[in-house]
Structure 1
Amino acid sequence: MSILHRARFVISAAQLDQLPPAGPPEVCFVGRSNAGKSSAINVLTNQRRLAFSSKTPGRTRLINMFGIPDPLTKEDYLGYLVDLPGYGYAAVARQERQDWAEVLGDYLVSRPSIAAVVLLVDIRRGLTDLDLNLARWIAPTNKPILALLTKADKLPYGQRIRTVAEVQRQLKEMGAAHTVAFSATERIGLEEATTYIENWISPKVVP
């Protein structure tokens, strides 16, 4: 069983000072609104409703943390999965978008326990300017990026492979970036994505 299956809700925070002290590795999930973050987290953890998606896209402004319990102590956490607010939804007021982007940006560049960033991208849209800007923002931190190209079942296999190659090419300049075609409904790319995330949280669990 994957260690991700043990994930449990820890906290929802509107500001960075509401988060627990930095410590165990954090793998954070970020992407445009409606890119499929909640679905990805739920299938990776094998739980139906661990992560919730807002009925109104662009309205989820909280940082949600899910802890992976340490099987030895059962009280400490090996690490965290962190669901960050989606970005790029035009209907949200400009000031709200700016405030929210500041919290998101501050977390990504200042949180010392971030081990990696999972960037969720709708494979049918490819990387947008906002996605590329985010990748460039993260690059100076030298944190690895895993681009999960969600909804991969919506494209024919050949087109899917070409899109993965193109996104990988675009992200190559950002440093340690990996690209995986992913589908929560068809479980495409699930094993590969799980391996990356498990290794970032606890390298000992995967040979």
Structure 2
Amino acid sequence: MSLLHRATFLTSSARLDQLPPPGAPEVCFVGRSNAGKSSAINVLTQQRRLAFASKTPGRTRLINMFSLPDKLDPDQDIGYLVDLPGYGYASVARDDRNTWADVLGGYLRTRPSLVGVVLLIDIRRGVTDLDRRMIDFLVPAGRPVLALLTKADKFPYGQRIKAQFAVRKELEAIASLHTIPFSSTDRIGLEETGEYIENWISPAVAL
């Protein structure tokens, strides 16, 4: 059984000071609204509604944390998955957008237990201006980044490779970067992504 399949909901927080104290390694998921973030978390954990996908972009304003319990000691968490609010919500008030940007940026820059960032990019859109603003947070933070090119099933294989190359070029400012074409519906890149995240949390974990 994969470590990620043991994920359970832990808590939701509107502010950084409401998060549990830093401890076990955390891997966060961030991306533009409707990039497929919730779907990716659900398929990686093999749970249909662990992460809630709102039908209204920008509706989810909370940081949602999911615990990954130890196989031998279920009361002990060996890591966490963190679902950050999506960005790119044009219909939301500017003050709210700025507040969420502060929360996102603050978490990415200052959370000491954060070991890796999963950045979701819609393969059909490529790197957008909003993604570039997120990259401005990521580069100074120095966190390793796994860019998932979601909805890869919409492209034939050759086009996926071209899109992957283009994203790598756009994100070359990120020192530690890995890219994977990904599809929740067709399970493209699922195994590679799961292994990458598990290795961030615990390279020696017994699955």
TM-score by length of 1: 0.97
Q: How far did residue 3 of structure 1 move?
A: 0.5
Deviations 1:114-152 (CA, angstroms, capped at 9, x unpaired)? 000000010000011221221232122221000000000
* Greater Cα offset, 6-15 or 124-133: 124-133
Deviations 1:66-106 (CA, angstroms, capped at 9, x unpaired)? 01001232112110000000001111111110111111111
Query: Residue 149 of structure 1 aligns to which amino acid in structure 2?
Result: L
Check if 1:71 corresponds to 2:80. no
Partner of residue 181, structure 2: 181
Deviations 1:175-199 (CA, angstroms, capped at 9, x unpaired)? 1011000000000000110111000
Partner of residue 32, structure 1: 32
> What is the distance in 2 between the residues matched to 1:172 and 1:199?
22
Partner of residue 107, structure 1: 107
Partner of residue 121, structure 1: 121
* Greater Cα offset, 165-174 or 2-11: 165-174
Distance 1:206 1:12, change over 3 A: same
Query: Residue 64 of structure 2 aligns to which amino acid in structure 1?
Result: N
Kept after mapping to 2: 8 A contact 1:27/1:116? yes
Q: CA RMSD of the aligned region, Å?
A: 1.3
Partner of residue 21, structure 1: 21
Residue identity (%)? 66
Kept after mapping to 2: 8 A contact 1:136/1:174? no
Partner of residue 81, structure 2: 81
> What is the distance in 1 between the residues matched to 2:47 and 2:54?
17
Kept after mapping to 2: 8 A contact 1:28/1:81? yes
Q: How far did residue 9 of structure 1 move?
A: 0.2
Unaligned runs of 5+ in 2: none
Partner of residue 43, structure 1: 43
Runs (4 or more) in structure 1 with deviation over 4 Å come to none
> What is the distance in 2 between the residues matched to 1:43 and 1:62?
21
> What is the distance in 2 between the residues matched to 1:90 and 1:206?
44
Q: How far did residue 18 of structure 1 move?
A: 1.1
Secondary structure in structure 1 of the residue aligned to 2:171 = helix
Partner of residue 7, structure 1: 7
TM-score by length of 2: 0.97
Partner of residue 192, structure 2: 192
* Greater Cα offset, 20-29 or 66-75: 66-75
> What is the distance in 2 between the residues matched to 1:43 and 1:104?
24
Query: Residue 110 of structure 2 aligns to which amino acid in structure 1?
Result: S
Q: How far did residue 157 of structure 1 move?
A: 1.4
Secondary structure in structure 2 of the residue aligned to 1:204 = coil
Check if 1:152 corresponds to 2:152. yes
